[in-house]
Structure formats: C-alpha cells, structure tokens
C-alpha cells in the first residue's frame, strides 16, 4: 500500500509506502525535510501540481527520527512518483532481469561451446599432423609383371655400361658423369613429372653393409638427396638378396607442412662397388608405377637387387 505525502515547503506530492507515515523524509524536489502526516488526500491535478511532480524516485530520501532531518538521509525505498504504477514497474523489472539472466546464460553456453569446438579442432589437427610427421611410409616395389612394361619400355630409354656392369631405365636423357675408373659413375635426371632419379656407382667396397644388422652412416644416407638438409628418416628397411644386403630409407621433411616431397634411398655394396639408387619427388608419386619401375629396372652384372 502507498500513501500520498505532500511537501510542506514546495507543495510537491509523492507516493510513499505506509511505513514512512509519521516519519521525517527529505523532499526530492526542494531537498527540504518535512514530516509525513497521515491521511493526506491526493492533490488535484492542477497545472501547477503537475509541474511540481518529481518523476525520478531515485533521488527520494527518507530520514530516520534519530538522524538530523536536514543532513542525514537514510533511504529512498518506498518513495515514488505519483504518476508511476508501482506494481507494473516492479513486474517489468523482474521480467527484464530474468531476460538478462537468460541472455547471459546463453552467451556463456555459446562461448563455452565455441571454445570447446575450437580446442577439439586444434587438438585433432595437431594429432593428425603429429601422426603424419612420424608415421612410417611403407614402400612395396613393383614386380615388373605388375607394370605395363611394354608401355614403359616404349617411353623410357635404357642406359648402361658393360665396363661398369650396370643397366637401368629412365624417362628421358640423364646427365652422366664419371668416366674414369676411380671416379664415381652417376646418372641423374630431374623430370618435372616424375621427380629426381639418380643412380651412382663408386669403386668403393663396404662389406660391413652386408651384415644384416649393419647400419649405414647418416651422412652417407643423405648424400646427394635434394633438400636433404631439411629432411629426416621416416622409415628404414633392410632385406637380403643372396649374399647382398640392401638398405632402404624413406625420407620426409622435418616439417611436413613445408613440403609434400619425399625421397627414397637404396644403399648396398656388391662386387667391391657401392651402389646408390635414389628417387625424390612429390609424395603422391611414391607408389606410382613409374617410380617403382625405375627401381626395379636397375641391374648390376645382370642381377636385380631392388625387387622388394
């Protein structure tokens, strides 16, 4: 319930709560203190009275009997403008507060869900990237019968040297170096479609390589590999062919996001010679018939060693 209070100084009228009847309050308009008298009738709505109505309840102040009536306001609770519907205002405030609370809750849920989704995506990408960077890449070289040999024979030219005792095929004209017996004999071809292919034979024996558990020095593995300084060993396979052990290494970039290129290196020693057969190119070409055919076409003294 509310009561109409009228300021005895400026004649302003206000609605107040019943518990303030008989107490001193401070007029929100003229700031003067006066005591609320009981049963004060509502003033007529004259033009003068309407102009005197203070519409802001926030400035109203109640004065307790124990305090100085001119200087010690204590509360503005229960002091209302005569034109304000108190119950409607209260209901509107409650509804507004509930809507704001729900909006805050939705915002928190959306933000939490978005953060969780971002963390999940980032975690998945990192996990796949880690697996991609560290996964071993198996390579099964083609059996000549599984490749269209006739077609490749028509497009790939044979190269060999009976004095050195090697033969192989390449899809173009390679660069050949090393004519003397003491110089390494090498054939290298950089093809824009198939990648880099290289064959090297050195008059240098490595009988220790033929022990099944032997290891090849890292510098030897990376020798001649294009961009080998930014690559790492992804997988290593050793297999025996008669009395010769072949060491095969697959190299990938240390940061696979930088490049999609890979390299495959074969190292073995036979007849007092060190043999290197290398291919480097796009990862998508790794298991292509052309790359596999290049490796399987290599013969030393009529024998094929890279057949697995």
Mean pLDDT, range 174-180, rounded to an integer = 85
Query: Taking a C-beta distance cutoff of 8 angstroms, is the pair 277, 295 a contact?
Result: yes
The pLDDT tens digits for 143-166 are 556 666 566 766 788 999 988 899
- What's the rounded Cα separation, in Å, for the pair 263 and 296? 16
What mean pLDDT comes out for the span 219-235? 90
Q: Which domain holds residue 272?
A: 144-304
CA separation for the pair 10, 32 (Å, rounded):
9
Residue 290 has pLDDT above 70, yes or no: yes
Does residue 292 share a domain with residue 197?
Answer: yes
Tell me, yes or no, whether 34 and 53 share the same domain. yes
74, 10: one domain: yes
Q: How far apart are CA 294 and CA 198, in angstroms?
A: 10
Same domain, 26 and 107: no
Choose the weakest-confidence range: 69-73, 135-139, 244-248, 275-279. 69-73
**In terms of Cα–Cα distance, which of 291, 262, 251 is closest to 142?**
291
Please tell me the distance from the alpha carbon of residue 173 to that of residue 191, in angstroms, as a whole number: 10
| Pair (175, 271) in one structural domain | yes
Residue 229 has pLDDT above 70, yes or no: yes
CB atoms within 10 A of CB 147: 17
**Residue 277 placed within a domain:** yes
Helix (H) and strand (E) counts for the chain? 5, 17
If asked whether residues 170 and 205 sit together in one domain, one would say: yes
Residue 167's domain is classified under what CATH number? 3.40.1000.10
Residue 148 shares a structural domain with residue 296:
yes
In a domain, 139, yes or no: no
> Which domain-ending residue is among 47, 69, 84?
84
Q: How much is the average pLDDT of 111-122?
A: 93
Distance CA(180)–CA(34), nearest Å, equals 122
Domain membership flag for residue 63: yes
Residue 174 belongs to some domain of the structure: yes
Q: In terms of domains, do 248 and 160 share one?
A: yes
How far, in Å, CA of 297 to CA of 304, rounded?
7
- Residue of higher predicted confidence among 90 and 242: 242
Distance of CA 290 to the CA centre of its chain: 36
| Mean pLDDT on 62-84 | 44
Do 205 and 163 lie in one domain? The reply is yes
Cα–Cα distance measured from residue 270 to residue 263, given in angstroms and rounded to the nearest whole number: 23
Strand pairing category for 24-26 and 33-35? antiparallel
Confidence of residue 130 (pLDDT cuts 50, 70, 90): confident
Q: Is residue 248 part of a domain?
A: yes
Nearest Cα to Cα of residue 59 among 43, 72, 77, 85 = 77
- Whether residue 64 sits in one domain with residue 13: yes
> How far is the first Cα of the chain from the last one, in angstroms, to the nearest whole number?
98
Question: Could you read off the pLDDT of 26-64 as tens digits, one per residue?
Answer: 888 888 888 888 764 444 444 444 444 444 333 444 444
Q: Quick one: 103 and 212 in the same domain?
A: no
Q: Which of 83-92, 194-203, 278-287 has the highest mean pLDDT?
A: 194-203
Specify if 210 maps to a domain.
yes
Same domain, residue pair 31 and 120: no
CA angle centred on 63, ends 57 and 68, rounded to 5° = 140
Alpha-helical segments (H) within the chain = 47-52, 86-134, 149-155, 218-222, 289-296
Contacts of 227 (CB under 8 A, 6+ apart): 253, 259, 261, 280
Pick from 193, 186, 205, 189: which is nearest to 274 by CA? 205
Does 253 map to a domain?
yes
What's the structural domain count of the chain?
Answer: 3
261 close to 282: Cβ distance less than 8 angstroms: yes
Q: At which residue do the structure tokens 């400035």 appear?
A: 59
pTM of the prediction?
Answer: 0.56
Q: Is the dihedral of CA 10, 11, 14, 17 positive or negative?
A: positive
How many of the other CB atoms lie within 10 Å of CB of 78? 19
> Could you tell me which residues come within 8 angstroms of residue 160 by beta carbon, excluding any fewer than 6 positions away?
166, 167, 168, 299
For residue 85, the model assigns a pLDDT of 52
Please report whether residue 76 resides in a domain. Answer: yes
């Amino acid at each position: 319930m509310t009561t109409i209070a009228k300021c005895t100084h400026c004649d302003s009228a206000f609605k107040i709560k019943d518990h303030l009847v008989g107490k001193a309050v401070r007029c929100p308009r003229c700031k003067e203190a006066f005591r609320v008298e009981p049963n004060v009738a509502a003033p007529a709505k004259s033009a003068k009275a309407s102009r005197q109505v203070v519409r802001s309840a926030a400035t109203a102040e109640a004065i307790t009997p124990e305090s100085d009536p001119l200087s010690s306001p204590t509360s503005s609770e229960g002091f209302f403008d005569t034109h304000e519907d108190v119950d409607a205002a209260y209901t509107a405030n409650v509804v507004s507060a509930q809507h704001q609370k729900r909006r805050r809750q939705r915002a928190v849920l959306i933000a939490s869900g978005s953060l969780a989704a971002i963390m999940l995506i980032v975690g998945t990408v990192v996990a796949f990237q880690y697996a991609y960077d560290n996964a071993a890449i198996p390579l099964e070289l083609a059996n000549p019968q599984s490749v269209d040999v006739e077609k490749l024979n028509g497009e790939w030219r044979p190269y060999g040297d009976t004095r050195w005792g090697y033969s192989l095929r390449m899809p173009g004209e390679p660069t050949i170096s090393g004519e003397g017996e003491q110089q390494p004999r090498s054939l290298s071809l950089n093809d824009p479609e198939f990648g880099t292919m290289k064959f090297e034979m050195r008059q240098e024996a490595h009988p220790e390589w033929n022990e099944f558990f032997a290891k090849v020095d890292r510098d030897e593995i990376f020798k001649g590999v294009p961009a080998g300084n930014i690559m790492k060993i992804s997988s290593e396979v050793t297999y025996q062919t008669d009395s010769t052990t072949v060491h095969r290494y697959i190299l990938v970039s240390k940061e696979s996001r930088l490049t999609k290129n890979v390299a495959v290196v074969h190292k073995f020693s036979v007849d007092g010679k060190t043999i290197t057969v290398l291919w480097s190119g796009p990862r998508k070409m790794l298991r292509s018939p052309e790359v596999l055919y290049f490796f399987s076409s290599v013969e030393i003294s009529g024998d094929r060693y890279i057949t697995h």
